[in-house]
Amino acid sequence: YHPDHLGSSSYITNLDGEVSQHIEYVPFGEVFIEERNNTWNTPYLFNAKELDEETGMYYYGARYYEPRLSLWMSCDPLEEKYPNISSYDYCMNNPVKFIDPDGKKLKLAGNRQQRIKILTYLQKLTNDKLGVRQDGIVLIMKTGVRNTNKKLTTGTGLISNIVKSNKQMTIEIGKIGSTNYETDVNSTNATNGKGTNVKVNFDISANPLIPTKNSKTGNVSDQNRPNEIGLAHEMIHGERSMKGKAIDYSIKSSYTYKDVNGKKTSQMVPQEELETVGLKGNNTHNENNIRKEQGLKQRGAY
């Protein structure tokens, strides 16, 4: 896919650069020119959104857009933030300058090489085919067609929820040695039910020893973990904050496990970490569920 400055598909080529489809648009998204050298036709057109052939409308996740009328077919879910603009107007009637991903997005920071690297790790977590636009916005290109040898229910749901959220998660590759961590743009809203935008620092060089459970004895010993598991852990924190369901780090809880020698050991840990890992609480999107569907050993402590 070779997009224009709005993310719209302009040229579709094969790996050798041979053009199979060429598309141009009028300002509000109607197809003006469409040429192709075979019968295959991409459904992802204006703003890289999927065109519903039955209705002629684009599906943006939150609502449908009618390019022939230059209007949304339903109210903006964030209309209270923009009281001076009609909630049916597309991009403040300036579609050449602005795009409207409906405020619901997962965004990758950095240059193209860094974005592709992050996307590679994200793709390992989900059954959906992912793509990334020039502006860093992650797209779900097609559902259920990747990692078909695994049923990745938790990872697929995690990424889908973040992409469809009314908050934004930005993932960037951190400096070597910076470790993995998640930060909340508004720490108050992360815990009070309102939700907040979040940022995830992804340090690919990070290789921490994680307390991991022996499936036979139940004893816990330190072992390394794949990078995508570390990324997923921070994304789970982020999703909780985006929903406003994170728990303040000052709230701690006791957790008991068996160490490598089988001796019972107790630790005081932030409740937020215990629920993110899946050691306590009923949060279905947790690290241990992702580990299970990836065929990895369970995390036994924090």
Write the pLDDT tens digit of every residue in 141-154.
889 999 999 999 99
Q: Angle 214-215-216 (CA atoms, 0-180°, nearest 5)? A: 90
Choose one of 64, 93, 122: the last residue of a domain: 93
Best CA proximity match to 123, nearest among 98, 101, 106: 106
pLDDT of residue 51: 87
Any domain includes 74: yes
Q: How many other CB atoms sit within 10 Å of the CB of residue 284?
A: 11
Is 70 exceeded by the pLDDT of residue 104?
no
Mean pLDDT of 284-292: 98
Q: What is the percentage of the chain residues whose pLDDT exceeds 70?
A: 93
Which DSSP state fits 43? S
Q: d(Cα 242, Cα 198) in Å, to the nearest integer? A: 7
Any domain includes 219: no
Domain that holds residue 88: 2-93
Residue the block writes with tokens 């989900």: 126
pLDDT class of 136 with cuts at 50, 70, 90: confident
Does 41 or 182 have the greater pLDDT score? 182
Q: How many other CB atoms sit within 10 Å of the CB of residue 248?
A: 14
What pTM value is reported for the model? 0.69
pLDDT class of 134 with cuts at 50, 70, 90: confident
**Which residues contact residue 83 at a Cβ distance below 8 angstroms, ignoring those fewer than 6 apart?**
none
**pLDDT tens for each residue of 255-266:** 999 999 999 999
> Residue 23: what are its φ and ψ, rounded to 5°?
-135, 140
Point out which residues pair with 137 in neighbouring strands: 107
Best CA proximity match to 133, nearest among 201, 44, 197, 41: 44
Mean pLDDT of 156-175: 93
Residues 241 and 125 in one domain: yes
Q: What is the pairing mode between strands 220-223 and 64-66? A: unpaired
Note whether 182 and 174 are within 8 A (CB). Answer: no
Any domain includes 250: no
Note whether 56 and 66 are within 8 A (CB). Answer: yes
Residues 87 and 122 in one domain: no
- Please state the domain count of the chain: 2
Alpha helices (runs of H) in the chain, residue ranges in sequence order: 112-123, 153-164, 227-242, 271-277, 287-293
Segment among 31-45, 215-229, 232-246 with least mean pLDDT:
31-45
Mean pLDDT of 76-80: 63
Residue the block writes with tokens 């107007």: 89
pLDDT of residue 83: 63
Residues 139 and 237 in one domain: yes
Is 80 exceeded by the pLDDT of residue 271?
yes
If you average pLDDT over every residue of the chain, what do you get? 90
Q: d(Cα 220, Cα 214) in Å, to the nearest integer? A: 6
